[in-house]
Structure 1
């Protein structure tokens, strides 16, 4: 795995980056009120500025709301992906005081509509349709770093790491393996309870490129179910083992793909001081740092890494905070302003 993975964003991609990551309106978009109007019917094209990735994000949020509205058991996770959700920009929904009310076709959950809270749509629909509390604003990513930890939860090391994060008032994102989540659900819940976030890292860590699209989707679905069973919530993100994913798999998964820009290679060193040196040598503002919470040497390195990064003026945040809550399905993210189509 490369230590740093950077893409060269062309002029066209740069324009897309501004549009997708800042929510800036296109030159053709008409000026509208800065706040949403309650009980107003809107099209998905209006909500998303006709961007398919944003519409995919609305569908992702709707699945979460369907499960929580019906208090569904984990056995219904696969079924929620069978619910027909909007794919056409001219379809309509309604802005209500509680959220976006979306009409549904006949489905196994027996819902005629679902209301998605505005908090779940932050960064996914244009700011002018959201309450003030849920609007995104510019963030100084040059002063932010996202630490991420793969392959847990570990029954001993993950709790130790959570204590370190809490003591240092830092947060991180944990990409967990489904079979371990099923084994240690209490620890998975503790990750969220500490103000951190969870991501999907497959069921048993295969190379997606070697198992095919169908099996990849099954790996992701099975882990989504395990995380939902443990926490009552679906994970927003997927990180493919070894960072490998095809374009077809990226489309099939229907969740944002999170990669990294700094690879600590802690799995190869198994040496605390080398882990510290590697992270500190390469990390800059806006980076996503890859580590693992299944190696004691890696967990032992974290207190010093946090201390030194803070001394440089960096704030340790979750992936969602670093990406300003604007990660979208179908895209993969390497850092704060470094993204491309999944599989590319």
Structure 2
């Protein structure tokens, strides 16, 4: 049955390709959409279903050309929570019907490229399926607390010179102040994640306040880039189980702490990262300290000399990070808040 669905799906891709070139499709090759349940799409995995909801929110905002002021509202749209609910596989993506909502959208189609790692591979076109890491010795550089008007652009130049991409966990109030720098981060091929609005300890401010911190920062990043951030890194790495359930993003922690915030010393930053990095590491640094940024060229050079390859968090986690879980390194995760 699954094979049949994929065959019909493949015909749909051919149809789109031919029609895009100005051709016509014979009647017998018309696309037949396939109905599936969310249980089938996710293999009954509630975290995968939460990830589909995450993709749906982005599609609603994109479809309606929504302003940033509407970001909070998209979290109020009722989206599927039951595995028995149905959706439709089409040539262009996963079609979902929506309940009445403030966006006045009755139906969305989530492009398949937005569902990589969220939907079981067999329901996706081959080009959108997850695969293993290309390089065994892969690591992800991550930078917290920016954007900084001076140091972040300097870091972007260093990364470009070394042909390296990284993941930036940015503070919402700084994104709001320097949106063009956040835009530059994304334009250069890097990822932007959510690091709260003004860097409080989530475990101390309560679930409601923590969720508001995340949504407010989502709004700032969306205003700057047109995209909701995929990940959240809670300040100090602290998050409760309740916050992990309520925050609608995967939580990204780290396995290597450069301690650059404590050392403020280029040589010590370099030594700490080199001493503690292993294949699959997520490396924590900050782009608001000059010694940290100054340490990056040497860190990259020496790790490359050891055979390491630098990737984004998404690439390191094989595009499979899911809401409700927290990730420390490749193949190292557990329930958020535990």
User: TM-score surpassing 0.5?
Assistant: yes
Which of 98, 107, 110 is residue 104 of structure 2 equivalent to? Answer: 110
1:217 aligns with 2:203: no
Q: Distance in 2 between matches of 1:159 and 1:147?
A: 16
Which of 138, 141, 151 is residue 157 of structure 1 equivalent to? Answer: 151
Q: Distance in 2 between matches of 1:243 and 1:141?
A: 27
Q: Distance in 1 between matches of 2:310 and 2:278?
A: 12
Who is 1:87 aligned against?
81
Which of 169, 175, 179 is residue 185 of structure 1 equivalent to? Answer: 179
Question: Counterpart of 1:76 in 2: which secondary structure?
Answer: helix
- The answer (yes or no) to whether the contact 2:151–2:290 under 8 Å persists in 1 is yes
Question: Counterpart of 2:185 in 1: which secondary structure?
Answer: helix
Q: Distance in 1 between matches of 2:283 and 2:4?
A: 39
Distance 1:109 1:31, change over 3 A: closer
Larger radius of gyration: 2
Who is 2:70 aligned against?
76
The runs of 5 or more residues in structure 1 that have no matched partner are: 1-29
Q: Distance in 2 between matches of 1:332 and 1:338?
A: 9
Who is 2:267 aligned against?
273
Which of 162, 166, 175 is residue 172 of structure 1 equivalent to? Answer: 166
Question: Counterpart of 1:50 in 2: which secondary structure?
Answer: coil
Question: Counterpart of 2:119 in 1: which secondary structure?
Answer: coil
Q: Distance in 2 between matches of 1:194 and 1:213?
A: 34
Who is 2:199 aligned against?
205
Q: Distance in 2 between matches of 1:165 and 1:91?
A: 44
1:314 aligns with 2:308: yes
Counterparts of 1:212-291 in structure 2, within 5 Å, are 212-291=206-285
Who is 2:44 aligned against?
50
| C-alpha deviation, 1:116, in angstroms | 0.5
- The answer (yes or no) to whether the contact 1:250–1:343 under 8 Å persists in 2 is yes
Q: Distance in 1 between matches of 2:143 and 2:8?
A: 41
Distance 1:87 1:108, change over 3 A: same
- The answer (yes or no) to whether the contact 1:93–1:100 under 8 Å persists in 2 is yes
Distance 1:36 1:211, change over 3 A: farther
Who is 1:15 aligned against?
none
Choose between structure 1 and 2 for higher RCO, CA contacts under 8 A separated by at least 6 residues.
Answer: 1
Distance 1:37 1:124, change over 3 A: farther
- The answer (yes or no) to whether the contact 1:141–1:322 under 8 Å persists in 2 is no
CA RMSD of aligned residues (A): 1.2
Q: Distance in 2 between matches of 1:77 and 1:37?
A: 36
Q: Distance in 2 between matches of 1:284 and 1:84?
A: 42
| C-alpha deviation, 1:256, in angstroms | 0.1
The runs of 5 or more residues in structure 2 that have no matched partner are: 10-32
| C-alpha deviation, 1:316, in angstroms | 0.6
Who is 2:122 aligned against?
128
| C-alpha deviation, 1:142, in angstroms | 3.0
Q: Distance in 1 between matches of 2:78 and 2:257?
A: 39
Q: Distance in 1 between matches of 2:135 and 2:152?
A: 27
| C-alpha deviation, 1:254, in angstroms | 1.3
Q: Which of 332-341 and 307-316 deviates more?
A: 307-316
Who is 2:328 aligned against?
334
Distance 1:33 1:143, change over 3 A: farther
Question: Counterpart of 1:224 in 2: which secondary structure?
Answer: helix
Who is 1:26 aligned against?
none
| C-alpha deviation, 1:81, in angstroms | 0.4
- TM-score of the aligned structures, taking structure 1 as reference length: 0.90
- The answer (yes or no) to whether the contact 2:5–2:34 under 8 Å persists in 1 is no
